[in-house]
Chains A and B, each alone.
Chain A
Amino acid sequence: MRVNYERCGYCGACVGVCKDMALELIENRIVIYEERCRRCKGCIIVCPLKALEE
């Protein structure tokens, strides 16, 4: 999973659906812990801005 920081609105919606705890919002930056991600793509679905991509 990758974050397009130019598009991200740092709202945290993606964090709220990440059951693997692979996402964290630190101030205005989404951080991905790749080793925890199980590619469920929930974060891609809820992102209002298309800021997440595989």
Chain B
Amino acid sequence: MRRVLKDEYDVLVVGAGPGGSMASYYASKHGAKTLLVEKSQEIGEPVRCAEAVPKLEEFHITPSEEFVRSYIKGGYLIAPNGKKIVVRGGKTEGYVVERKIFDKYLAIRSASLGTKIAVKSRVVDLYPCEDGFKVKVVHLGEEYTVKTKIVIAADGVESSVGEMAGLKCKKNPMEVCSCAEYEMTGVKLLDKHMMEFYFGDLSPKGYAWIFPKGDTANVGLGVIDRGKKAIEYLNEFLEHPILEGRLKDATPVEFKCGGVPVGGPIERTVDDNIMVVGDAAGQVSPLTGGGIYLAMSCGSIAGEVAAKAVKRGDYSMETLMEYERRWRERFYNTLITELKYKRILQRLGERELNIIAEVMEDNLEEIDVKEILFKVIKRAPSLLKYFKDVVA
């Protein structure tokens, strides 16, 4: 470990979540000498999320039973009045994984291509030097200065590393969803392959969820609220009549909490010798709060671009902008559209949500927002005021 921190690198990735492990994987794969730095003493810990991940085949990762706990075919969207809408197939398919094992698996996969890893190693500062950054890392109370050509900041919601380098990564508190979750056993699920999403006053400006996870289920919620706390909403949700007693015999085996940046991507994710990836970059679906797919995709691009820059011997912002261009090309429009929908959804009360649920088909393959809105406005013209940005 100490030896690893005394060396020099082409690429130094901060944070061994899915974004950081994918970034380091592709950096190593394309020949860059890469160090992955994780501040926790255990990769994958603490878990801060509901553990749903997309189909992994796209990333050439086999969904091994080592970490997959449930196969997900779709989800129920549940309105305040209890009406259930079933969405199946397409993007709703995926897995609920054991993140502690999944994250470690991805780090091991990266290490197998030559990535060196330092755990219990915290980045406390970095400053530019000719040709790169000097990164100060504290490990077991001792400070090391590690020289690198490129830094990839994948330090998650905390978003400190990019900020240290002068990029604006910190989020607005009203754009961060506060989440609390119990992983419980003994939950009576609607269907062991379907996720459940609950909307309305039980979780203002967010939603509550029950995700099947093998012998357990993740029961949690995310809210944006200046007054009442996520944990208080969660304790009420556990006894909410909409669940019809399905948690009566359930008991927790783990508690998790976290903040999810749902305000869209940060202004700029690249500067000379640095790229920002994942939650730190605001690469999170504003509508679902899902971040793993985006972090893995954008991390892969960042790793590739970093290795290419190393080969070229040019780590300037202009060269690294390829990362920003490529991830924006793939995801920016979707993120901005979702942001718009989210803002509408957040303004709707239970009455409006019930009307929307009422006009929606019970079974959907895909959510066609425009079609739904057309029906909603036909049924309740007074709701037009909420949707004028989208319909126009």
Asked if residues B257 and A11 are in contact (CB atoms below 8 Å), the reply is yes
| B180 part of interface (Cβ distance < 8 Å) | yes
| A39 part of interface (Cβ distance < 8 Å) | no
Q: Which of B120, B170, B178, B180 is the one whose CB lies under 8 Å from A18?
A: B170
Asked if residues B171 and A47 are in contact (CB atoms below 8 Å), the reply is no
Interface string of A12-25 (1 = CB under 8 A from B): 11111111010011
| B172 part of interface (Cβ distance < 8 Å) | yes
Interface string of B117-157 (1 = CB under 8 A from A): 00010100000000000000000000000000000000011
Q: What separation, in Å, do the CA atoms of A47 and B160 have in the docked complex?
A: 17
Asked if residues A45 and B226 are in contact (CB atoms below 8 Å), the reply is yes
Interface residues on A, range: 20 to 34
| B261 part of interface (Cβ distance < 8 Å) | yes
Asked if residues B257 and A28 are in contact (CB atoms below 8 Å), the reply is no
- Which residues of A from 18 to 38 have beta carbons under 8 Å from B? 18-19, 21, 24-28
Q: What separation, in Å, do the CA atoms of A4 and B56 have in the docked complex?
A: 39
Chain B: CB-nearest residue to A17: B173
Q: What is the total of A-B residue contacts with beta carbons within 8 Å?
A: 88
Interface string of A35-54 (1 = CB under 8 A from B): 00000001101111110000
Asked if residues A17 and B172 are in contact (CB atoms below 8 Å), the reply is yes
Asked if residues B160 and A15 are in contact (CB atoms below 8 Å), the reply is yes
Asked if residues A42 and B180 are in contact (CB atoms below 8 Å), the reply is no
Chain A: CB-nearest residue to B163: A21
Interface string of B268-300 (1 = CB under 8 A from A): 000000000001000000000000000000000
Beyond A16-B176, A27-B40, is A9–B158 a contact (Cβ under 8 Å)?
Answer: no
Q: Which of A28, A43, A48 is the one whose CB lies under 8 Å from B258?
A: A48
**B64 CB → nearest A CB, Å:** 27
Q: What separation, in Å, do the CA atoms of A48 and B206 have in the docked complex?
A: 13
Asked if residues A49 and B257 are in contact (CB atoms below 8 Å), the reply is yes
Asked if residues B229 and A13 are in contact (CB atoms below 8 Å), the reply is no
Beyond A21-B160, A27-B40, A48-B229, is A11–B173 a contact (Cβ under 8 Å)?
Answer: no
Question: At the interface, is chain B mostly helix, strand, loop or mixed?
Answer: mixed
Q: What separation, in Å, do the CA atoms of A45 and B228 have in the docked complex?
A: 9
Beyond A45-B226, A48-B229, A48-B257, is A17–B176 a contact (Cβ under 8 Å)?
Answer: yes
Chain A: CB-nearest residue to B46: A10
Chain A: CB-nearest residue to B233: A48
Asked if residues B176 and A48 are in contact (CB atoms below 8 Å), the reply is no
Asked if residues A48 and B230 are in contact (CB atoms below 8 Å), the reply is yes
**B138 CB → nearest A CB, Å:** 9
Sampled A-B contacts (6; CB under 8 Å): A15-B158, A16-B157, A16-B259, A17-B173, A45-B174, A48-B259
Other contacts beyond A11-B257, A13-B258: 15, CB < 8 A = A9-B180, A9-B257, A13-B176, A13-B257, A14-B259, A16-B171, A19-B163, A26-B122, A42-B173, A46-B173, A48-B179, A48-B229, A48-B259, A49-B229, A49-B230
Q: Nearest 8 A-B pairs (CB), nearest first?
A: A13-B259, A48-B230, A42-B173, A9-B257, A48-B178, A15-B158, A16-B157, A11-B258
